[in-house]
Structure 1
């Protein structure tokens, strides 16, 4: 047997193999590229994560201060304040010195003069994302809000602080077929 002839045949690709590999790579690239150009899924998840972080920050701040910290919860933005009025004097600064300054945040998180409030712990909803709440009529809406007490428990704005009427709030973030949820537990205030 001629071993040199056998060894030569074992190296390299045939033209058919090369065409099949290129075809498969092209198909995978076409499918993958649509994922990278569709930012709606990323915006949806990112905003849900920002809201979760803001709620956890507000709860921890209330425990740290041993006093109430108020959350403005609307379909367009979520913000943290030291009073229910949430005016310029009571806006709580973001821990890093500023919010994301995204287009949505500059649109919805305004000060009394109508200018974007960059240092405030507030995040606006991206245009591709819709937010709805289950079981939280008093806590979420155009003038919605609630607060965490010094023990981290959630209360509706009109609660006196002894008995909470806050119902477990489930925020559902939707963008196309993508959904994410954030839940605030009524008993403990745990944000998941």
Structure 2
């Protein structure tokens, strides 16, 4: 009596296991948490960059927060409160700095604010944002620290 499996049987079992893994695994893994944390990291990076640009250029930078995106624009004049009409360029790319969140990930509340030339948020209050309903982003008053 022979014990063991033939090479053909082993190859067939491994092939079936590979096909099942390729088809079933993506459905078993929920990417929502990954997309939410990644989107929050992108929003934090954009807010920190907006603050740095405001301090470097000595001009206000406007942050427009929509339910699925964040856009940055510069006030081209030294006058506080003037319209922010010039898009902030993405470093290394030259195109407008707009963060679009992954599908199914939202950002609340939708609002607009500015970083002044000292890096403080205008209005000078603590701003609380939530990405994907679970990940908080806090912009501190006076310092503009993004956490």
Please confirm whether the aligned pair reaches a TM-score higher than 0.5, indicating the same fold. Answer: yes
- Render the CA deviation track for 1:62-107: whole Å, top value 9, x for unaligned: 11112211111122210110136555xx111101206xxxxxxxxx
Task: Output the CA distance in 2 between the equivalents of 1:96 and 1:44.
Answer: 25
Task: Indicate whether 1:122 and 2:98 are aligned.
Answer: yes
Aligned residues: CA RMSD: 2.3
Runs (4+) of structure 1 exceeding 6 A deviation are none
Picking from 79, 85, 108, the partner of 1:132 is: 108
Shift of 1:180: 1.3
Q: Which of these residues, 104, 114, 117, is aligned with residue 147 of structure 1?
A: 114
Give the Cα–Cα distance (whole angstroms) in 2 for the partners of residues 36 and 154 of structure 1: 42
Gapped regions of structure 2 (runs ≥ 5):
1-20, 76-81
Q: For 1:53 and 1:173, how far apart are their aligned partners in 2?
A: 13
Shift of 1:150: 1.1
State the partner residue of 2:92.
Answer: 96
Instruction: Give SS of 1:55's match.
Output: helix
| Residue 188 of structure 1: aligned partner | 143
- Structure having the higher Rg: 1
Question: 1 or 2, which has the higher strand percentage?
Answer: 2
**In the aligned structure 2, how far is the partner of 1:96 from the partner of 1:39?**
29
Q: TM-score scaled to structure 2, two decimals?
A: 0.70
Gap change, CA 1:36 and 1:71, over 3 Å in 2:
farther
For 2:126 and 2:142, locate their aligned partners in 1 and report how far apart those are by CA, in whole Å. 8
Which stretches in structure 1 are left out of the alignment for 5+ residues?
A: 1-28, 99-118, 134-140, 157-165
Q: Which residue of 2 aligns with 1:136?
A: none
Choose from 61, 74, 77 the match for 2:69: 77
Q: Which residue of 2 aligns with 1:168?
A: 126
Taking the aligned partners of 1:184 and 1:52, their CA distance within structure 2 comes to 9
Inter-CA distance 35–53: structure 2 relative to 1 (3 Å threshold): farther
